[in-house]
Amino acid sequence: MTSFRVEGAGPPLVLVHGLQVGQKIFAELLPHLVSAFTVITYDQRDRGETAFAPVPYTTTIWPMTSPR
């Protein structure tokens, strides 16, 4: 299950964290954004409060982008 937070009011704004961190990286930024936006943050797989994925899994993007 993916851990996420939704706060604020206004147009949606999704914040995506980088490698080796979680959604808590945005804690100081959120108070400045929630008055103007509905801010959505989440922990990517195996980060923060999101559970570890069963192995093996792929992180290769090519299968997701190839034409069907």
Query: Is 20 domain-assigned?
Result: yes
pLDDT tens readout for residues 46-55 = 665 665 666 6
Q: How many CA atoms lie within 13 A of 42 on its CB side?
A: 12
**Degrees to nearest 5, angle at CA 42 with 65 and 16:** 60
Query: Is 2 domain-assigned?
Result: no
Between residues 43 and 67, the one the model is more confident about: 43
Global confidence as pTM = 0.63
Query: Is 59 domain-assigned?
Result: no
Query: Is 3 domain-assigned?
Result: no
How many domains are contained in the chain? 1
Three-state SS letters, the chain: CCCEEEEECCCEEEECCCCCCCHHHHCCCHHHHCCCCEEEEECCCCCCCCCCCCCCCCCCCHHHHCCC
Segments forming the whole domain that contains residue 34: 10-51
Q: With beta carbons less than 8 A apart as the criterion, state whether 50 and 44 touch.
A: yes
Query: Is 46 domain-assigned?
Result: yes
Query: Is 36 domain-assigned?
Result: yes
